[in-house]
Structure 1
Amino acid sequence: MQFDNLGQIDWIVLIGTLLFIVFYGTYKSRGSKNVVDYLKGGHQARWWTIGLSVMATQASAITFLSTPGQAFHDGMGFVQFYFGLPLAMVVICLVFIPLYHKLKVFTAYEYLETRFDLKTRTLTAILFLVQRGLAAGITIFAPAIILSAVLEWNLIYLNIIIGVLVIIYTVSGGTKAVSMTQKQQMAVIMGGMLFAFLIILNYLPLDISFDKALDIAGANGKMEILDFSFDFENRYTFWSGIIGGTFLALSYFGTDQSQVQRYLSGMSVRQSQMGLIMNGLLKVPLQFFILLIGVMVFVFYQFNSSPLHFNPAGVKDVMASEYAGDYQALEDRKREIEADLRVKQISYAQAEKPSEEIKLKEAITLLNREEESLREQSRVLIKKANPNAETNDKDYVFIHFILNNLPRGLIGLLLAVILSAAMSSTASELNALGSTTAIDLYRRNTPNQTERHYLSASKWFTLLWGIIAILVASFANLFDNLIQLVNIIGSIFYGNILGVFLLGFFVRYVKGTQVFIAALINQALVIILYVLDLNEIINLPYLWLNFVGCISVMAIAIILQKILSKPNSIVGV
């Protein structure tokens, strides 16, 4: 589906939804009088606002574009990535939130100066700014490059439009604007995804019930949720989710200012805690549901034609090359498989004898394996046609389904879902980047200015980071699966930052200089480990970097403390 094929109703729904969110957020949050109003929303947020804001910050456009495609290709196993999140919410509610509120901090990193020293605070703030600044650009870039490919919209213009819309209400209203708009965005997001799920089920043949659809998915390995192996070849297992996922969630929700700022705006400690508990209870089911949509898209394409490769840019490259004939042959064979699959799936749904079901299941599984082999061959041809082409098409699966199968009006709504999610996460990130720069770097080094001066500085820094995010988005390159890219960037930095915070909370005899040196050494170590894994010299999936980074910075700091000075006490928080 091209740019000019969107119906008038789609444009009305899309533009109307986005403009309403921008104007609503700007109007409801106008009139910040000081830094507390601007960066903490005047401490007015209730628990449900905090919970929705926390969820909306994490649920970027990448979630709604990449996750269904992840499930389409690899099944439900990705949900294990989130298993550690509820455990992390409990720890943050018991340890992080009471301490942050007691110290009345604007940012998480203020605590580190109180506990250690200024250089440790500054280092962690800079590490946050680096990784979150990159992530903010990717949050804009992810939906922009996909929409530009399938709709033939100009990529640079899309980056600028998304970025400018977010900048308008984030700069003008600060934290309150972000929280207020995220409630509306979550309503749009969940409503759109629910409609998409129901329509997929409605599009399945009459003989295919929901139970049968799940059975079809299970026969092709899409419903294998739990993997208890310690196989490092598999990125997503129960143990990587519980261990690596817990450390990642502790780092993200406990030390990443884009999340900390959401619950620092709470009316009280209890309101902040209830907001995070809400997130802990709902996040795994939400992610399960989004993955299930991807699985249902897989089932839908068992009865309907699908592209051999979902990224239209890759197909265009290969069809304009000497490999066009080879690619066409693969497409011809795929059409034959699809016709055979439709017949066998209907027969499977109507089968009454267990022996007949087993025989048909085996035949269907073999056909799907052959189809996947054709997809792999297509990726090889695309790479031959254009060595710089991105052959991973997971991020294009769901948007292809939306544009080619949903009714008018709902296409506009789902596009609004994608762009709303991008705006939601980006707003939180810009808000956090601006506040960290203003409080941890600028105000700390230019004291004795007026409140109005710091308020103005916070807005200017937010605007600056918005411009930087647009620039990063404009020069970014698509890398593997986008949801993985954001998590990889986080995993490289989060474990190190979390380890510094845990040292502050629980190991009181370690001093600032030792922690500062340990954090520098450890950050270099984590980057080296990731590069070694990337080059297949070692095998350490990125989720484990959170655990390794956290434990190693604590160990290095303790060793340095013992070497450089005699310890005098170990106490808890």
Structure 2
Amino acid sequence: MSNIDWIVLFGTLISIVAYGVWKSRDTKDMDGYLRGGSDVKWWAIGLSIMATQASAITFLSTPGQAFNDGMGFIQFYFGLPIAMIIIAVFFLPIYYKLKVYTAYEYLETRFDMKTRMLAAFIFLIQRGLGAGITIYAPSIILSSLLGWDLKITNVLIGVLVIIYTVSGGTKAVTQTQKTQMAVMMGGMIIAGILVITSLPTGVGFGDALNVAGKMGKLNVVDFSFDLKNRYSFWSGMTGAVFLFLSYFGTDQSQVQRYLSGKSLSESRLGLMMNGLLKVPMQFIILFIGVMVFVYYQYNQPPVFFNDTVKEQVYSTDYADDFRGLESEYTSIFDEKLDAVNQLNAAMKTDDPQEIEQAQALVNSIQAQSDEIRNEAKAIIEEAVPGAEINDKDYIFMTFVMNVLPVGIVGLLFAVIFSAAMSSTSSELNALGGTTTIDFYKRRVKQDGDDLHYLKSSKLFTLAWGILAIIVASTLSLFENLIQAVNLIGSLFYPTVLGIFIVAFFFKSIKSNAVFIGAIMSQIAIIVIHYLNVEGIAGVFTMGFLWYNALGCILVVLFSFIIKGLRDK
């Protein structure tokens, strides 16, 4: 990167940290630290909720997801508005009525302490892993692109977040997230405009849409019903609804965002804002990925997008084989470029037969290109054992570094760092608060004063921050980073949501029944996932988003069965 890019990057990051520390300098009690003083306006709540969910993984992985698989991932968010309405109607009034610091306090009122502890413990496990991933995910990409050591990148992101989160708590998180959202969305919109203007002369926006559509990248909705399909209309309107109910309704990193609102109405408006704007936001990010795909139909892409791994291959005995594939990939690209130009010309004639022939030719050559990419990945796997052969998460930032102008490159890196900081700060804030309120204050020291618990919250937040850095330094890449986050959530969220669903809607079920039912459900989901991974699940084979519905239903079902057995 140029000196200007470095200035833009670090200037943005330092300004965000300083702003967070300054705006929360007067936080001196637990209410201010964990609920931000309960005076946050609805639009700030909405931005904070969006920023918490919009991690660096969103901006790294989502364009790559669209580059490879098209716009279908947007279906994952179709159920979000429904979930927001349910939470606003049923969850929020109870939280506000009880004036809780954490969502899990309610469970002790409804059931007992052990059920509260179980839900809080599952949250700590799931979100503790999640905090490590939200640091690690951008770190591994950024360290490769910038040539930094991975541990240094982990520590840099972690320390920046720890500084203002420990200092100001919820208020610092909320204040910085307003700035971070402006940086994130401003940077991505600029990137989207520049992707389109980077297309060759004579290739307009309409031409780009035609190419993307004919190559299958604009297929937004899939109505086919298949449990193995991760992203379809049905998984988005069922499994994803349960996931969003769990995440926004029971995950303290989100609950803490809207508990800081001035009133119940303000918090509801913040949730509705998130429900209305999140889908368009994800659509824009996915669409940018599709436009990057179109850009690379006119400009030679690399056969593999992770340059660091490629350099390792060049120093092995497989170098000649890999370079041979690169040469073949270039030759096929020249053929495909001619075919794409033919497709554009055919679209202008409006002749269905000519368009169909041109489309078939383009997609046939694209299939050959994809096969060569797969062969290149196979060589990488042989040449560099243990190397990550999935390069989806490198596609967008490779485009940024190679194509976009000076200054914008630094801004886009600032977007990734800002996103990592925004989501991680919410997680650490929630982890520290939950540890203090649900465990330390409830079980260890019940007679401390407000100042004592304030200091304890800061120490626990610091401890979780250090642990997140350690976890980030020991992780390995999943198939795709954004899928990794959704998978971890789908394994643990359903149990917690099931407990809350029983608490809200099935008053006859008592603590012991739901406690045992929750444990049984959690074990069942882990077993089913293991069988799926091993390929021996049989009739239970399903995409992981379906775990969210299944796990929640199992908690309710098991609770009723246990209640029935105990009543006999």
Name the TM-score class by shorter chain: over 0.9
Shift of the alpha carbon at 1:301? Answer: 0.3
Within a 5 Å distance, the mapping from 1:473-552 to structure 2 comes to 473-538=472-537, 539-552=541-554
Q: Which letter maps to 1:398?
A: F
Corresponding residue for residue 3 of structure 1: none
Q: Please say if 1:173 is aligned against 2:171.
A: no
Partners of 1:207 and 1:350 within 8 A in 2: no
Greater shift in the superposed pair: 180-189 or 344-353:
344-353
* Aligned counterpart in structure 2 of residue 316 of structure 1, from 306, 311, 315: 311
Aligned length: 561
Q: Which residue, out of 383, 397, 401, partners 2:395?
A: 397
Aligned-partner residue type, residue 387 of structure 2: A
Q: 1:560 — aligned with what?
A: 562
Counterpart Cα distance in 1 of 2:491 and 2:339: 46
Amino acid corresponding to residue 266 of structure 2 in structure 1: Q
Q: Which amino acid aligns with 1:214?
A: L
Matches within 5 A, 1:421-440: 421-440=419-438
Corresponding letter in the other structure for 1:493: F
SS at match of 2:238: helix
Give the partner amino acid of 1:357: I
**Does the CA-based 8 Å contact 2:132-2:472 persist in structure 1?**
yes
Superposed counterparts of 1:130-529, under 5 Å: 130-351=125-346, 352-353=348-349, 354=351, 355-445=353-443, 446-529=445-528
* Unmatched segments (≥5 aa) in structure 2: none
Q: Return the offset for 1:156.
A: 0.4
For 1:112 and 1:207, locate their aligned partners in 2 and report how far apart those are by CA, in whole Å: 62
**Aligned mates of 2:455, 2:533 — CA distance in 1:** 43
Cα displacement (A) at 1:232: 2.7
Q: Compute the TM-score of the two structures, normalised by the length of structure 2.
A: 0.97
1:107–1:257 CA contact under 8 A, matched in 2: yes
Aligned to 1:570: none
Determine the C-alpha separation between the residues in 1 that align with 2:364 and 2:228.
24
Name the amino acid aligned to 2:371. Answer: S
**Taking structure 1 as the reference length, what is the TM-score of the superposition?**
0.96
For 2:566, the aligned partner's letter is L
Structure 2: how far apart are the matches of 1:420 and 1:13? Answer: 12
Correspondence for 1:116 among 108, 111, 116: 111
1:571 is aligned to none
C-alpha separation in 1, matches of 2:543 and 2:423: 25
Task: Tell me what 1:24 maps to.
Answer: 19
Higher mean alpha-carbon deviation, 222-231 vs 411-420, is at 222-231
The answer to whether the Cα contact below 8 Å between 1:50 and 1:179 also exists between their aligned partners in 2 is yes
Check whether the contact 2:210–2:344 (CA below 8 A) recurs between aligned residues. no
- Measure how far apart 1:341 and its partner are: 2.3
- State the shift of 1:278 in Å: 0.3
Shift of 1:211: 1.9
Q: Which letter maps to 2:440?
A: Y
Give the 3-state SS of the residue equivalent to 1:541 in structure 2: coil
The root-mean-square deviation of aligned C-alpha atoms, in Å, is 1.1
The answer to whether residue 122 in structure 2 is matched with residue 127 in structure 1 is yes
> Residues of 1 paired with 2:421 and 2:306: CA distance?
24
**Aligned partners of 2:214, 2:228: CA distance in 1, in Å?**
23
**1:369-404: CA deviations, max 9, x gaps?**
111111111111111223312111110100100111
In structure 2, distance between residues paired with 1:548 and 1:385? 41
Q: Where has structure 1 moved over 6 Å in runs of 4 or more?
A: none
Contact 1:207 1:346 in 2 (8 A): no
**Deviation digits for residues 166-197 of structure 1, max 9, x if unmatched?**
00000000001000000000000011001100
Contact 1:25/1:169, CA 8 A, preserved across alignment: yes
State the shift of 1:313 in Å: 3.4
Cα distance in 2 between the residues matched to 1:127 and 1:380: 38
**1:33 deviation in Å?**
2.0
1:315 and 1:536 mapped to 2: Cα distance?
A: 31
Q: Residue 76 of structure 2 corresponds to which residue in structure 1?
A: 81
Mapped to 2, the partners of 1:80 and 1:64 lie a distance apart of 17
Q: Which moved more, 1:279-288 or 1:333-342?
A: 333-342
CA deviation vs aligned residue, 1:378-435 (integer Å, no higher than 9, x gap)? 1111112233121111101001001111100000000000000000000000000000
Tell me by how many angstroms 1:515 deviates: 1.1
Distance across 2 between alignment mates of 1:502 and 1:358: 51
Unaligned runs of 5+ in 1: 1-5, 567-573
Q: Separation in 2 of the partners of 1:205 and 1:146?
A: 28
Structure 1 residues 318 and 233: CA distance shift in structure 2, 3 A? farther
- Shift, 1:261, TM fit: 0.2
Quick check: 2:229–2:542 contact (8 Å CA) kept in 1?
no
CA shift for structure 1 position 314: 3.0
The Cα offsets for residues 221-271 of structure 1, whole Å up to 9 and x where unpaired, read as: 111111111123321111111100000000000000000000000000000
Helix, strand or coil: the match of 1:50? helix
Counterpart residue identity of residue 208, structure 1: V
